[in-house]
Structure 1
Amino acid sequence: MEKYDWMQAIKTNILILKIVGLWPDSEDYKFDFYALHASVWLSTLLVASTFFQGINIIFILDDVKALTGTAYVLLTEILAVIKTYFVVKNMKMLKHLMQSLNNNKLFQPRSHEQIKLIQPSLKFWKLLYNLFHSLVGGATLFWILFPIVDKKEKRLPFLGWYIVDTKVSPYYEIVYGFQFCSCCYMSALIINIDTLIAALNVYIGNQIDILCNNLRNLKAGCSIERDLITCIKHHQEILNFVQYANKFYRWIILLQFFVSAVSIGITMFQLTIVVPLSSEFYSFLFYANSIISQIFMYCWFGNEVQTKVSLLKNKFTLWCFFQSNKIPQAIFESGWTDFPLKTKKDLVFLLMKTREPIKVSAFNLFSLSLDTFMRVKDILLLHNTVKICFRF
């Protein structure tokens, strides 16, 4: 069977990361033209933009409306800087993970049936990618356009401190263009880093589906021992992949949830004080929805990893009943009754290894699951608390 290219599904994602400077051709950054390209864009459109808006916080501490209107954007930009740092720092690890998908024979589908088996989750990832792209793009568009639509003289999309008078031409146009470019650049970074992390979890779920299919097709015969050992090795390789993937993005997930909680609270507060149905109102609305879709994307695919291998824990949840315990169920659906005694003992060993669920988490503080996402509704209540606090 022809070798399956796992990178094909995320080729657009990889292309954009390469354009913004976060995907070198080699395993890591070297002293070449691409490293120069990446350093220029990152230092100019990411770090410098965040610095100018961060310094401006000092001058607006007494203005509550301006402070809250700037804080959520600044937090997002700081998080983008941190995400970029961890991606660059762990680039070799990330490249190793991606290469192992194509180079490791255990990760390759063995039949067209298995290729069809993994397609739904990849298509759903693509759907969420487009949705997230639309929401972030909508928020970016309204951020950029609302000073023009509102027709306020010499107003910038974002408050910032600059060494020139931004109310005087041509400095106003130059700074406006700089903020436009930096906003688009950061949006591209955030979208494609987050969706790449989601794609890693999709691939983990795909490997579990392939392993389950291989286990179901185990039949008694001269090659049963070899096939079972291959399945055990495949399971171990999946665990190794999860370990490295979790090590790559654990800090990103932890900080993402913290920033999302604060940003949603501030955004909800801002929605109560801006003019309804104005361009600024729509920018906050798109931003809030993009954060919720961002958290959903993390939690959904993290939940997929967990439910495909975990034992049934919630006896009252019908959905979990059909999704949980996939690997032990696949073993049970094989022809194990006709296996030799030694093979049955190996099956018991594999069952013991799958007792504990594979969890995607942030330093084991919380796991990415639908239960975690449902708790976002508690975060949405923060806007009432923030509103009351600022009144006093």
Structure 2
Amino acid sequence: MDIILIVDNTDDFCDNFCILLVMIMTCFKLFSLLANRKNIIKLTNILTKEPCKPLKQNEIKIHYKFDKDIQSNTFYYAVMSLVACTSFAFTSFLTNFGERKLIFRAWVPFEYSSMTLFCLLYVHQLIGSVMGTLVHVACDSLILGLLAHVCCQFEILTYRLKRIMLHSDGLRNCVQQHCKIFKLALLVNANFRMIISIQFLMSMFVVCFNLYEISLLKLDARCIKLALFMGAMLTQIFVYCWYGNQVRFKSRQFIDNIFEMDWFTLDKNLKKSLIIMMERTVMPIEIISAYTISVNLDSFIGVLKTSYSAYNLLRQMNE
């Protein structure tokens, strides 16, 4: 409503539009989690039941190692996001509160000239920004955790195949687990493809507009606020690309892991099963956004290049 009714210049539009995109993304993630509740339960059931469930001591250690990494990364990601949000609010408090300006531009259907109403609106926006940050952390950590568990399953499967070299049993479970890993990755991709796609698109717009605004400002509190905001957006894209890249790497590495085994000592049936598993893994698992774009480190570089190109276009139009 502020963009439609009040905004009359480029700076105000950029200020509002960036926050609008982030809050739209927040709402979309929240409703997507609610809509995918049954699918999330299905995904966790795959991981907690055989053949994916770790049984041996070494398998439990592998699972525990990935669990610890997920917990640590979630903690650091939450701290980074909340620090960025707090810094954003604190900077706004130092620069805007005394001038009776809200944290974010907004249209409200009443006059808030009184100190009480202004403080209520200010606190409302502060709570909204914190809750929005927590929704992003929760949704992103869930998706990234599931991708990390896909990598974990490849390591557990590699360990089980190495045991077959010694005991020549359990191949049936290994084949079933291999199928479950592909099913797990397919379900994660299908259920969260839209979230990842919209995250990429909106983050690209936010980075572009923030670059444009920073280039027009001197080094002051507002510039630092925008830099923190842009850093948070870039981190969001990077963690998706990192874990998507790890899934692709682990699935490709699985073929090499099989080759490194003493497979030539196995009987004919075991060799055939290993060849079938290798044939299926020739095409690595790809996490896809927008049905065509792979989520990996190359895509992260592509987003940066596209954002910078759009920024250059805005600069030329402004000149």
The normalised TM-score by structure 1 is 0.76
Q: Deviations over 1:84-123 (max 9, x none)?
A: 1211111110122123322x12112233333443555444
* Mapped contact 1:302–1:360 kept (Cα < 8 A): yes
Partner of residue 352, structure 1: 279
How is 1:166-181 mapped onto 2 (pairs within 5 angstroms)?
Answer: 166-181=112-127
Is structure 2 residue 247 aligned with structure 1 residue 335? no
Partner of residue 318, structure 1: none
User: Please, which runs of 5 or more residues in structure 1 have no aligned partner?
Assistant: 1-54, 311-325
Is structure 2 residue 2 aligned with structure 1 residue 59? no
Partner of residue 251, structure 2: 309
The 2-side partners of 1:161 and 1:208 are apart by 51
Counterpart secondary structure, 2:106: coil
Q: 1:372 Cα shift?
A: 1.3
Match for residue 233 of structure 2 among 275, 291, 296: 291
The 2-side partners of 1:181 and 1:363 are apart by 32
Counterpart secondary structure, 1:155: coil
Query: 1:147/1:339 Cα in 2 relative to 1: closer, same or farther (>3 Å)?
Result: closer
Amino acid paired to 2:100: K
* Mapped contact 1:139–1:284 kept (Cα < 8 A): no
Counterpart secondary structure, 1:375: helix
Q: 1:128 Cα shift?
A: 3.6
Amino acid paired to 1:176: Y
How is 1:123-142 mapped onto 2 (pairs within 5 angstroms)?
Answer: 123-142=68-87
Match for residue 160 of structure 1 among 103, 106, 116: 106
Query: 1:363/1:74 Cα in 2 relative to 1: closer, same or farther (>3 Å)?
Result: closer
Amino acid paired to 1:141: T
The normalised TM-score by structure 2 is 0.92
Query: 1:237/1:135 Cα in 2 relative to 1: closer, same or farther (>3 Å)?
Result: same
Is structure 2 residue 148 aligned with structure 1 residue 202? yes
Is structure 2 residue 14 aligned with structure 1 residue 72? no
Name the Cα RMSD after superposition. 2.0
Partner of residue 251, structure 1: 194
**Which range moved further: 346-355 or 122-131?**
122-131
Q: Deviations over 1:128-178 (max 9, x none)?
A: 434432332233223323343125421110111112212223211111111
Q: Deviations over 1:265-311 (max 9, x none)?
A: 01111212344131x2222111111111111110111111111112x
Query: 1:383/1:127 Cα in 2 relative to 1: closer, same or farther (>3 Å)?
Result: farther
Query: 1:297/1:380 Cα in 2 relative to 1: closer, same or farther (>3 Å)?
Result: same
Partner of residue 185, structure 2: 242
Q: Deviations over 1:22-72 (max 9, x none)?
A: xxxxxxxxxxxxxxxxxxxxxxxxxxxxxxxxx111123422111111111
The 2-side partners of 1:376 and 1:210 are apart by 33
Partner of residue 215, structure 2: 272
The 1-side partners of 2:314 and 2:84 are apart by 22
**Which range moved further: 105-114 or 244-253?**
105-114
Amino acid paired to 1:329: D
Amino acid paired to 2:311: H
Is structure 2 residue 308 aligned with structure 1 residue 387? no
* Mapped contact 1:218–1:334 kept (Cα < 8 A): no
Partner of residue 375, structure 1: 302
The 1-side partners of 2:6 and 2:68 are apart by 46
* More helix as a share of residues: 2
**Equivalent pairs: percent with the same residue?**
21
Partner of residue 365, structure 1: 292
Amino acid paired to 1:249: F
Query: 1:81/1:234 Cα in 2 relative to 1: closer, same or farther (>3 Å)?
Result: same
Counterpart secondary structure, 2:59: helix
Amino acid paired to 1:149: L
Query: 1:287/1:126 Cα in 2 relative to 1: closer, same or farther (>3 Å)?
Result: farther
Is structure 2 residue 224 aligned with structure 1 residue 282? yes
Is structure 2 residue 27 aligned with structure 1 residue 85? no
* Mapped contact 1:154–1:166 kept (Cα < 8 A): no
User: Please, which runs of 5 or more residues in structure 2 have no aligned partner?
Assistant: none
The 2-side partners of 1:73 and 1:134 are apart by 20
Counterpart secondary structure, 1:217: helix
* Mapped contact 1:220–1:335 kept (Cα < 8 A): no
Amino acid paired to 1:108: K
Counterpart secondary structure, 2:287: coil
Counterpart secondary structure, 1:159: coil
* Mapped contact 2:88–2:228 kept (Cα < 8 A): no
Partner of residue 187, structure 1: 133
The 2-side partners of 1:83 and 1:254 are apart by 12
The 2-side partners of 1:329 and 1:147 are apart by 53
The 2-side partners of 1:179 and 1:363 are apart by 32
